[in-house]
Amino acid sequence: MPAAERPLAPPLRLDSATIEAVYGPNGLLVEAGWEHRTGQQRMATAVGRALAKRQHLVVEAGTGVGKSLAYLIPAVLARRTDPDCGPIIISTATKVLQDQLFHKDVPAVQELLAPFGITFNAIVAKGIGNYACKLKLDETTGTLLPPEGLAGMVEWLGETATGDVDELRFTLSAELRERTIATDTDCIRQRCRYYHDNSCWYYAMRKRLREADIVICNHALLCLSTLAEILPQHAFLIIDEAHQLENFAYAAFTDTLTPRSITRLIPEEPGLEGLRDALQRGVATCWDQFTALLLNKGRGEWGSRQVAVPETLEFDPGPVTRVLNRYYQVLKERLPQMPSEEEEAKLQKRIEQVDSVIDRMERFCAPTLQGSLRYVEEARNGIQLHYTPIDVSEPLAKLVARTQATVYTSATLAVGGSMKFFASRVGARDYREVTCESPFFFEEQALIWAPRPRELAEPPSRWEGDEARDYLAALVERLERLVVASQGRAFLLFTSYRALEHCYQEISRRVGDQMLCLRQGEMPRRELLRVFMEDGNAILCATKSFWQGVDVPGAALSVVAIDRLPFSAPSPLSQARLDAVTQAGGNWFRDLMLPEAIIDLKQGFGRLIRSPADSGVMVLLDARIHTKFYGRLILNSLPPARRARDFAEVERFFR
């Protein structure tokens, strides 16, 4: 009987009978046109049980299981069963994945459940920096020299109902963004006229969050919610793409200072010229101290380098903080002169910003607090100061402490069949773990080629001299044979920008007249993927950023080749994390570096097989997969595709 003709009784509840009725071989999903997936039913059962029994769950769901449907329906039923539980929070890695959940998966579930009298609403939650600020716009449109692009934005303001800048059809310049987009540091909240008349776009979204059944956020916002009350109170939390949560946490919890973030505190206003000039000189003096740390250090790839600040090393923040303290007093003296409550609130906000930068500057210049790291980075846009926790598991544990049940899920969480490593990194405790196998037949659909050790040079210890030249020559030779056999259709992924550039140039020279060769960075990522897919026989040379969140189903992608095992690149933070493991009595390689590389490799394999019709070859061009003790553990952690050492097997696969 079609789902639309089913009687409304018995009602759907959060129990095993309902899970069977929805996900079983003869269930609602099958009747609605989906195929039955054993792994999806297993995952839905585990999620339903976790929500019903108020338990935490870590579930690895292989590619093709259909994670979103497996957790969305139990989440809706949990909300229906307990209306007082608050909205169900679903967090995923990026805005793109948020939109996919909201525009594709949520409507499918709404249509499926509607005949049973079950309706629900969902909303996408975004941070304040995604919304235009009406107060800022009032000030900016009234200036004599409006920033370039303002006219287009004003035109958009007459059309938008949300104020979400993702709707814009043009890119905001840095100046226009600064002068029109809301930020947490300058929002005056309840003292703003637009807050009181309920027309503030950001707070209108916040209000809708409290009224929603399902709130879809991203990991960046979820992590920030541990620092401030952003998301509504909730009993249930589902974290999709959970393998990326730790990296987003580091980004959220790292405090960064730049010269611009300090000098912008004093605007170009009459009477402030002296203070502004003094602050610019003070910043230059302080930054000379930080620049000294970078002297005689090797320059990193793409002109970027990072240097850890020794724990006991102190700097003099005075050239900056003395000027800011003077400015602080100037602003305090202005407070009683403000003509309105709103103007007073704006000035008070500026005072708080100045006070905050003084505290942050003093903290960075003082000895490092235990469990934290200071480092200086020379990036493309200048020298930056960073202050970050070494371990984010404790702040992430706060996410769980606020809930009655948290579900972590991803296609890549297990190492050696256990979720213990993942759980330790994100602060998950007292959890149940479940593995749901992919429905794909990897033995038939995929091949893993790891050439024999004698066919490969060892990765070089440095990128100069004969060792690097021999390695790159052997790498190019293997890649050329590979893309000729596959007729392109390949992601060639590199752990080094230098290897990427060299191989791109050589491969382009050798086969560029036969197939399109693309390189990461030559066009925006989305456009690069569109061109790759439309060509059908292209080669894309890229870095680790293309190992995750890329979906290219079909024959356009039939090879994923990885030049080196993806051990984390040396950096102050990675070294501090390794040192912390050792100090805690662990083994830095076994307990951190190796598990992270395994999860990254599993993500790389996941780019290859995206549907039952896909087929392809994963290529590991690192001799250490055979020569080192950990090689077998790595191979055994990958999906059970056929293994090949001879290139002839690869050629046969593509015939």
| Rounded Cα gap, residues 31 and 24, in angstroms | 10
Nearest partner of 564 among 608, 587, 539, 597, judged by Cα: 597
Number of domains in the chain: 4
100 and 132 belong to one structural domain? no
Q: Are strands 56-61 and 431-436 parallel, antiparallel or unpaired?
A: parallel
422 domain-assigned: yes
How many contiguous H segments (helices) and E segments (strands) does the chain have?
Answer: 29, 18
User: Are 112 and 152 contained in the same domain?
Assistant: no
Strand locations in 450-599 (E): 490-494, 517-519, 539-543, 559-562
**Cα(491)–Cα(563) distance, integer angstroms:** 11
Q: How far apart are the first and last CA of the chain?
A: 44
Residues 457, 425 share a domain: no
Rounded Cα distance, 236 and 478, in Å:
49
pLDDT at 5: 42
Cis check for the bond before 566: say yes or no (omega within 30 of 0).
no
CA distances from 412 to 154, 287, 372, 632 (A): 45, 42, 28, 18
Residue given tokens 């006991």 in the structure block: 312
Examine the domain organization and report whether 19 and 140 are in the same domain: no
Specify if 222 maps to a domain: no
**Residues 426 and 358 grouped into a single domain:** no
pLDDT tens digits, one per residue of 586-597 = 999 999 999 999
Statement to judge: residues 464 and 599 lie in one domain: yes
DSSP code at position 114 = G
Q: Which residue has the tokens 């790159």?
A: 472
Does 561 lie in the same domain as 489? yes
Angstrom distance (rounded) from CA 655 to CA 650: 9
Among 442, 435, 397, which residue's Cα sits nearest to residue 418? Answer: 435
Q: Same domain for 624 and 607?
A: yes
Residue 6 lies in a domain: no
Q: Residue 218: enclosing H or E segment and its boundaries? A: strand 214-218
Is residue 348 assigned to a domain?
yes
Can you give the CATH number for the domain in which 402 is found? 3.40.50
In a domain, 142, yes or no: yes
337 and 266 co-located in one domain: yes
Domain end call among 143, 177, 208: 208
Same domain, 446 and 305: no
Domain span at residue 199 reads 128-208
Torsion, Cα of 113, 115, 117, 121 (10° steps): 40
- 432 and 463 part of one domain: no
Q: What is the CATH number of the domain that holds 498?
A: 3.40.50.300
Closest-CA residue to 78 (of 309, 403, 538): 403
Q: What is the distance between the alpha carbons of residues 54 and 57, in angstroms, rounded to a whole number? A: 10
Q: Is residue 219 part of a domain?
A: no
pLDDT tens by residue, 108-147: 999 999 998 899 999 999 999 999 999 999 988 877 677 8
Ranges of residues in the chain whose predicted pLDDT is under 50: 1-10, 300-303
Instruction: Using alpha carbons, select from 219, 222, 226 the residue that is nearest to residue 247.
Output: 219
Residue 230 lies in a domain: no
**Is 373 found in the same domain as 486?**
no
SS3 241: coil
What lies within 8 Å, CB to CB, of 96 at 6+ separation is: 549
- Give 533's strand partners: none
Within a domain: 471: yes
